[in-house]
Amino acid sequence: MYFINKILSDLKLAWICGADGGSKVKIIAAGFIFPLKRLLKLKRPQAIHIRLKMQGKEFSFYLTDGSDLAVLKEVFLDEEYKKASGQQPHIIFDIGSHVGSAALYFYILFPQAKIFAFEPDPITFEKLKRNVQQFPAIVPVHSALGNKDGMQEFFVYPGSSISSSLIKRQQSQSAVMVPTSTIESVMKKYSLSHLDFIKFDVEGAEYELLEKYVPHFKPKSLIGEVHLDLLSVPEEQFLKMFEGYTISKQVINDRRYILSATRL
Asked if residue 42 has pLDDT above 80, the reply is no
Tell me the per-residue pLDDT of 101-149, one tens digit each, with 9 for 90 and over. 999 999 999 999 999 999 999 999 999 999 999 999 999 999 999 888 9
Helix (H) or strand (E) holding 155: strand 150-156
Amino acid identity of residue 116, one-letter, is F
Residue 172 has a pLDDT of 73
Residue 6 has a pLDDT of 84
CA atoms within 13 A on the CB side of 212: 10
Asked if residue 160 has pLDDT above 70, the reply is no
* Res. 163 pLDDT band, cuts 50 70 90: low
Cα separation values, 165 from 144, 199, 233, Å:
9, 16, 17
Q: CA 35, CA 191: separation in Å to the nearest integer?
A: 44
Segment 155-175 mean pLDDT: 73
DSSP letter for 253, please.
E
Count of other CB atoms within 10 angstroms of residue 159: 10
Q: Domains of the chain: which residue ranges?
A: 1-75, 79-263
Which is it for strands 150-156 and 174-181: parallel, antiparallel or unpaired?
antiparallel
Task: Supply the Cα-derived Rg of the chain in whole angstroms.
Answer: 18
Helix (H) or strand (E) holding 227: strand 221-227
Contact 75, 105 (CB under 8 A): yes
Average pLDDT, the chain: 91
* Res. 264 pLDDT band, cuts 50 70 90: confident
Residue 33, C-beta contacts closer than 8 angstroms, at least 6 positions apart: 45, 48
Tell me the per-residue pLDDT of 182-207, one tens digit each, with 9 for 90 and over. 999 999 999 999 899 999 999 889 99
Asked if residue 99 has pLDDT above 70, the reply is yes
DSSP letter for 183, please.
H
Contact 31, 7 (CB under 8 A): yes
Q: CA 156, CA 164: separation in Å to the nearest integer?
A: 5
Percent residues over pLDDT 70 in the chain: 96
* Res. 94 pLDDT band, cuts 50 70 90: very high
Residue 18 has a pLDDT of 95
Q: CA 32, CA 205: separation in Å to the nearest integer?
A: 32
* Res. 171 pLDDT band, cuts 50 70 90: confident
Q: Which CATH class name applies to 79-263? A: alpha beta
Asked if residue 246 has pLDDT above 90, the reply is yes
Residue 92 has a pLDDT of 97
* Res. 96 pLDDT band, cuts 50 70 90: very high
Q: What is the pTM of this model?
A: 0.93
Residue 45 has a pLDDT of 59
* Res. 44 pLDDT band, cuts 50 70 90: low
Segment 213-234 mean pLDDT: 92
Q: CA 70, CA 81: separation in Å to the nearest integer?
A: 15
Segment 21-49 mean pLDDT: 85
125: left (phi over 0), alpha (psi -120 to 50) or beta: alpha
CA atoms within 13 A on the CB side of 165: 18
End-to-end Cα spacing for the chain: 43
